[in-house]
Amino acid sequence: NAGVMQNPRHLVRRRGQEARLRCSPMKGHSHVYWYRQLPEEGLKFMVYLQKENIIDESGMPKERFSAEFPKEGPSILRIQQVVRGDSAAYFCASSQPGVAGFYEQYFGPGTRLTVT
């Protein structure tokens, strides 16, 4: 049973380019979270998605950032016109569905974005 997969593991972009980060949840999981982590800082919640539906995007910057989780395929975190301040590790996590809405999360290895 494969865990959460993220790719690429490392991504280098120049200022102004677009970054696309992909996340495939664990088998049987239909809920995905995205987090950003800066060096020596904690994980910052960005967005919570179910298949074809954004549930909570209260942590997403209003501009340049978007996320989707289509019916087929991985979840995508998209950053347009990247700036140096976007350099960070981006982690995806998945959890099982349920009415309680809060279960342990299984994290991927992260994508380290460097903006030059």
Partner 1 sequence: SQKIEQNSEALNIQEGKTATLTCNYTNYSPAYLQWYRQDPGRGPVFLLLIRENEKEKRKERLKVTFDTTLKQSLFHITASQPADSATYLCALDGGTGGFKTIFGAGTRLFVKA
1 or 14, CB closer to partner 1? 1
Q: Considering only CA atoms, which of 79, 80, 101 is closest in space to residue 90? A: 79
Q: CB–CB of 27/5 below 8 Å?
A: no
Complex with partner 1: residue 13 or 95, whichever CB lies closer:
95
Which is closer to partner 1, CB of 1 or CB of 58? 58
**How far out from the chain centre does Cα 57 lie?**
11
Min. distance of Cβ 114 from partner 1 in angstroms?
14
| Alpha carbons 76 and 106: distance in angstroms, whole number | 17
Q: Which residues contact partner 1 by CB under 8 A?
A: 4, 33, 35, 40-45, 48, 55-56, 58-59, 91, 93, 101-110
Query: Minimum CB separation from partner 1 for residue 81, in Å?
Result: 26
Q: Cα 105 to chain center, whole Å?
A: 13
Please report how close the Cβ of residue 100 comes to partner 1 at its closest, in angstroms: 9
